[in-house]
Amino acid sequence: MAQRTNIHSHNDYKQAVPFWNAFANGAASIEVDLILMNDSLYVAHEQESIDPNRTFQSLYLESIRQSILLGLEHKPYFLLVDIKTKAEPTLRRLVEICGEYRDILYSHQNPDGIKLVISGNRPPAKQYKDYPSYMMFDHQDLTGLGQLDLGKIAMISLPFGNYSKWNGKGRIVEEERQKLIQVIEEVHKVGKPIRFWATPDSKSGWKALHDLGVDYINTDLPYEANKYLSNLNERLVTGETISEIYTPDFSSDGIHSKVDRVILLIGDGTGLAQLHAGMVGNGNHLNIFNLKNIGLVKTQASDDFTTDSAAGGTAIATGRKTHNRGIGQNDTIPYKNITTELAALNFSNGLVSSDNVTGATPAAFYAHQKDRDNINCIGLDLSHSAIDLFIAGGKNDFLRYKNGALDSLVSEGFDIASSMREIGTSKSKRIGYFASNHGLPSVLKGREGYLSQATQQALEFLNQKKKPFFLMVEGAQIDTGGHQNDAKKVVEEVIDFDQAVAVVLEFADKNPGTLVVITADHETGGLTLPQGNISKKQIELEFSTDDHTGIMVPLFAYGPHADEFRGVYENTEIYTKIMAIIMRYHGK
């Protein structure tokens, strides 16, 4: 039978708002303990805790009726009635009370009505058929399943402890897991769903039960369980895009020789967890993780513990901190950026991004604006910058303000290419290519291979000039995936970014004197990786926020002087280190 994971709200009556909490969180089974006393059915676990105001009618039947009258949709679900007093008299009184609520209960005439599933103290199985159509049973024995009237059995519930002693930490031992699998298969063979009670009530526990194929997952935490399980399939990612692994030769890695080319790759929003997720999705390999010189970068902005891409990009591009949203300056003073500094040393400069060229990260390498949203001014800054090449999206940013930004690019010597493939062989002094009129799509929506191809074209264009150059390559949409809490997008964008890394590493080996630096401006999403399966290229991603975080990000370096990027330091030190290395060989 097809398996669907449902939440069973165990001990629902203990919730601050019984029924409504389970209902709001999509519980497919809502458990209520009933005690018969003085002809009333009270919601309680034992007589000592009875509250005369907490009756089955007031807490459940009336609430269900109200939900229906209000048109609140949540189906299908049923009430699992755990009877704590003698079965027959309690059921007799339950049937009498339900006579007043036939409008909300299941019948052949009312197929959308609620079913009661009787648990706890029950009559003998042979008597199940004697009870109304809205009344089903929670069977709790595997003996003689084939001889039962299965039509009256809603589920089969069993004590978890009879098969496993697992406490929800780590993993179930294999012997116990096999016992559970055998029991689940036995129940499924007769076409019935299964529930275990007294299970570990945690994310690891819910995930394990889900993976085992348990139909109703027992929990005292319906909100937390629903939040975790409702999007588990979206957060459990199997990699599809392939980043072919290039093995560097390391012949110049870390040696102190002349640097004529610097290639800086920025994975926007990419922390260690994002890279690890991409690695698993790519068959447990990434080009980035072949590198040996590794550092950790502090990302704080001048005015906040957590940076945005504008302040983060500015710190890397200028060696100076700024406020969030600032591009290449503080409130009033423009900062000299690395492309301007290098142009004065006869370097060419290029930018490649899967964002618009006016996006915060690329803009930090040429623009000077108080706010990253000053797109009209950022567009004009590009034509007067030290940039000789750009490949990115966002042509409309140079048209929509009717400020002549596109004409300014042309008048300042930019040839605007009509296709990306013509860039590598172009003899133009300056060239730009708009890969889209607006924003570029994600890899999942057709952008696969763009970043590596753009990087290759940019390298060919810059290298054929026979002069030193600086190239910044941004994988922008890893950050987008983090903001959207889109696990699959994060994994696919990391792998796409790694394809560009492979292109750069191969170029560096073929062109000695090339320094490669790979890092991020910040981490996005507060990502953790609770579980995965390397052999299946499968990884579970869990986000703690839809915003940036202040955690340090990794940095990887390759080529001459790569060893100087080891350690823990501020993001401003990336600029400082690069410039110090360049000045040793190109200083005037």
CA distance 412 to 487: 42
Residue 66 lies in a domain: yes
**What does pTM read for this prediction?**
0.92
Q: Same structural domain for residues 196 and 284?
A: no
Q: Same structural domain for residues 457 and 483?
A: no
Q: Same structural domain for residues 277 and 328?
A: no
CA distance 294 to 335: 28
Q: Same structural domain for residues 55 and 197?
A: yes
Amino acid identity of residue 432, one-letter, is G
Determine if residue 537 is left, alpha or beta; phi over 0 gives left, psi from -120 to 50 gives alpha, anything else beta.
left
One pLDDT digit (tens) per residue for the chain, 588 residues? 334 579 999 988 888 899 999 999 999 999 999 999 999 999 998 998 899 999 999 999 999 999 999 999 877 899 999 999 999 999 999 999 999 999 999 999 999 999 999 999 999 998 999 999 999 999 999 988 878 889 999 999 999 999 999 999 999 999 999 999 999 999 999 999 999 999 999 999 999 999 999 999 999 999 999 999 999 999 999 999 999 999 999 999 999 999 999 999 999 999 999 999 999 999 999 999 999 999 999 999 999 999 999 999 999 999 999 999 999 999 999 999 999 999 999 999 999 999 999 999 999 999 999 999 999 999 999 999 999 999 999 999 999 999 999 999 999 999 999 999 999 999 999 999 999 999 999 999 999 999 999 999 999 999 999 999 999 999 999 999 999 999 999 999 999 999 999 999 999 999 999 999 999 999 999 999 999 999 999 999 999 999 999 999 999 999 999 999 999 999 999 999 999 999 999 987
DSSP string, 207-247: HHHHHHT-SEEEES-HHHHHHHHTTHHHHEEE--S--PPP-
CA distance 92 to 52: 20
Q: Same structural domain for residues 63 and 192?
A: yes
Domain boundary among 435, 468, 501: 468
Q: Same structural domain for residues 456 and 492?
A: no
- Which residue segment(s) compose the domain that 293 sits in? 268-297+479-535
Q: Same structural domain for residues 321 and 174?
A: no
Domain boundary among 425, 443, 468: 468
Determine if residue 229 is left, alpha or beta; phi over 0 gives left, psi from -120 to 50 gives alpha, anything else beta.
alpha
Residue 242 lies in a domain: no
3-state secondary structure of 37: strand
- How many domains, in total, are found in the chain? 3
Residue 514 lies in a domain: yes
How would you classify the pairing of strands 236-238 and 538-540? antiparallel
CA distance 227 to 536: 25
Residue 372 lies in a domain: yes
Domain boundary among 516, 535, 554: 535
Residue 574 lies in a domain: no
Q: Same structural domain for residues 16 and 142?
A: yes
Q: Same structural domain for residues 291 and 313?
A: no
Q: Name the residue with tokens 């139909």.
A: 215
Q: Same structural domain for residues 421 and 332?
A: yes
CATH code of the domain containing 400:
3.40.720.10
Let me know: does 588 contact 336? Beta carbons within 8 Å. Answer: no
Q: Same structural domain for residues 418 and 313?
A: yes
Residue 187 lies in a domain: yes
Residue 389 lies in a domain: yes
Residue 545 lies in a domain: no
Q: Same structural domain for residues 324 and 362?
A: yes
Determine if residue 485 is left, alpha or beta; phi over 0 gives left, psi from -120 to 50 gives alpha, anything else beta.
left
